[in-house]
Chain A
Amino acid sequence: MTSATVAASRRRAVRRRRVHLPRVGLHVFLIATAVVWLAPILWAVFTSLRPYADTNEHGYVSFPHSLSFTNYKNAWIQGDIGTHFVNSIIITLPAIALVLLFAASVAFVVSRLSFWFNVPMLIFFMAANLLPQQVILTPLYRMYLEIPLPTWMSDSGLMYDSYIGLIAINVAFQTGFCTFVLSNYMKTIPSTLNEAARVDGAGIVRQFFGIILPLCKPALAALATLEFTWIYNDFLWAIVLMSTGDKRPITSSITNLQGVYFTDTNLISAAAVMIALPTIVVFALLQKQFVSGLTLGASKG
């Protein structure tokens, strides 16, 4: 070993030692924070697994004498959770598909073709996504009461209180964010690709579906993950634009559940865990997509 490398390794060792002590403090801080962070969720899970009689007798903060899924079964039946889950799927899946289709189409035009209206149009979509929902809520509510739909599309005969109405507003509200992310993403794809296709006689539609869209798969996957969470988690639109309790998606049915379970904390906990589960599972499985979708939106292409 030369003296230089010895000196270097000694320096490294010193640095490692110096770094050691604060690291312990850091871990203590992080572990303590993590415990506090998880506490509300774990508390809900813990309470949900304990029979009412057990908590009644021993108090809520006590060693559990028995654990069971009975609360889940009762909460599921009494709250009609299954129906509301189906409602959520009816709204969420078509909405995600439409958001991605619309956003990708606009992003394609904005990023691959040069029109004078590209920038104003991008702003038109982006800004729509940033508005607080309550700005448009009052007129939207009245509009929904005015727009008739055929009864096979909506049993209320109106946009109001219909699945189509909820899908439409979720799509309109979310398209801006996805357009922004996708247009940034598409700009990183070399323009020679679809130019070559154009020379070969491919029209716009084939350039879009055949070449650009398949190349956007990572971004589309990330956005689909995010949009699933956001649309599934929507509360406000369904509360205001859906009056029939049985047709409400699961997240907004919480208001009914509060009445159904009344003060049975154990049942409320079980329902909370069940409603939170789909997004937690999606996050656990697709964490990378989730995070990259968010950060794609925050950083600029």
Chain B
Amino acid sequence: MAIDIAADRQTDGVRRRRRAVRLSVRDRIAVAVMVGVPLVVVGGLIWFPTFASVALSFTSWDGIGGLGTIKWVGTENYQQIAEIYPPFWPAFRHNLIWLGFLALIATPFGLLLAYQLDKRIRGTRVYQSIFFLPVVLSLAIIGFIWQLVYSPDQGLINNVIGRTSQSGHLIDWLGDSSINLWAVLVAAGWRHAGYIMILYLAGLKSIDPSLREAAAIDGAGEWHAFRTVIFPALRPINIVVVVITVIEALRAFDIVYIVNRGRNGLELLSILVTDNIIGEASRIGYGSALGAILLVISIVPIVVFVWNSFEEKNVRVFRFTGRRT
């Protein structure tokens, strides 16, 4: 197991499997408390509701009556969601578009910024701080700030391009359901690109400089060198970035909620879940089924991430000890 081997590794190459240390009763109690309390908190508040979400998704419950009023309905919730719940498919599509925008535009732009700033240029720290600034803002505040930018009559954009109501060609960026998703995505991408940039900057710094030199000596052009040498060397970070991008797209909520509570072209799966508990109709089974759908989608990136972080160690251990565990 990776952890045992990690202990081996620290004895400077001498292979010596650490004997399990006999712990005194007091130490055993200490370990039990140190591990037990966080286990109960995370288990009780994260994993229990996760499984409850799956279980409740097969039931019908208004959440007001006691547990006795829970009725087993099989897959009825899922059927209704897919067939007669109007906002579901638009929401699903919007989440996909969200993912597509982050993955194809915001993430590559973050990589582009990181790549350029990694060259030793003047003022790189200043640029980094500026591009990273939106990341420290909450998504709710970002929604708040971009509302000011997009405001039809008083906003920055319409005033700069001359499309206010005085000109008669007003653009209602956030109110027009054919463009508001894209307007919101620009705000989301504004934050996402900075986040990705920081991750890639760390990745680029850890690339062996001799790799670049070798590419330069071979006379490879910049784009060619990036594609064949730099990008493949960023593989560990690439996986993390992909996982973060997918999870961010699934979590998208705050900006849209601030703008218009997620209606009129801005429906998202996360919004539908919230609607079913804090909206007028409290439908626990329904909300749980929507949550379970999100769970199924998110299992893929979670498994990839967990697998990746442990695989990485195994590879290193393999190199070090000459055997794979």
Contact = CB atoms under 8 A, between A and B. Distances in A.
Interface of A: 23, 26-27, 29-30, 33-34, 37-41, 43-44, 47, 55, 59-61, 102-103, 105-106, 108-111, 113-116, 118-119, 121, 123-128, 130-143, 168-169, 171-173, 175-176, 179-180, 187, 190-192, 198, 203-205, 208, 229, 232-236, 239-240, 251-252, 254-255, 258, 265, 268-269, 271-272, 275-276, 279-280, 282-283, 287, 290-291, 294-295, 298-301
Contact of B198 (A134, A198, A280, A291): A291
A152 B325 CA distance: 52
25 contacts: A34-B130, A37-B131, A40-B187, A40-B190, A44-B148, A61-B156, A61-B160, A119-B310, A121-B35, A124-B43, A124-B47, A128-B46, A132-B270, A135-B49, A137-B291, A138-B276, A173-B46, A175-B41, A179-B38, A208-B30, A233-B141, A235-B254, A254-B140, A255-B257, A269-B148
Given A26-B116, A40-B145, A169 B295 contact: no
B302 interface: yes
B288 to A, nearest CB: 5
A175 B42 contact: yes
A27, A40, A175, A282 pick with most chain B CB within 10 angstroms: A40
Nearest to A168: B45
A233 B138 contact: yes
A184 to B, nearest CB: 9
Contact of A131 (B35, B140, B298): B298
Contacts of A208: 30, 34
**Is chain A's interface secondary structure helix, strand, loop, or mixed overall?**
helix
Interface of B: 1-4, 6-7, 10-11, 18, 20-21, 23-24, 26-27, 30-31, 34-35, 37-39, 41-50, 52-53, 56, 63, 113, 116-117, 119, 121-122, 127, 129-134, 136-141, 144-149, 151, 154-156, 159-160, 187, 190, 194-195, 198-199, 202-203, 206, 236-237, 240, 243-244, 247, 250-251, 253-254, 257-258, 269-270, 273-274, 276-278, 284, 287-288, 290-292, 294-295, 298, 301-302, 305-306, 309-310, 312-313
A272 B309 contact: no
A135 B292 contact: yes
Contacts of A128: 42, 46-47
Nearest to B296: A135
Given A26-B121, A105-B35, A252 B160 contact: no
Given A272-B148, A283-B133, A135 B30 contact: no
**Is chain B's interface secondary structure helix, strand, loop, or mixed overall?**
helix
A288 to B, nearest CB: 11
B199 A114 contact: no
Contacts of A295: 198-199, 202
B137 A191 contact: no
Contacts of B1: 116, 118-119
Given A287-B129, A295-B199, A298-B202, A191 B10 contact: yes
A113 B31 contact: yes
Contacts of B202: 291, 295, 298-299
A138 B287 contact: yes
A71 to B, nearest CB: 13
Contacts of B243: 130
A181 to B, nearest CB: 11
B144 A268 contact: yes
Nearest to A225: B136
Contacts of B7: 114, 191
Contact of B154 (A39, A60, A121, A282): A60
A187 B190 contact: no
A89 to B, nearest CB: 16
Nearest to B124: A30
B45 A172 contact: yes
Contacts of B247: 130, 132
Contact of A251 (B18, B44, B141): B141
Contacts of B145: 40-41, 43-44, 272, 276
A291 B276 CA distance: 37
B56 A125 contact: no
Given A61-B156, A109-B34, A127-B302, A268 B148 contact: yes
A43 to B, nearest CB: 5
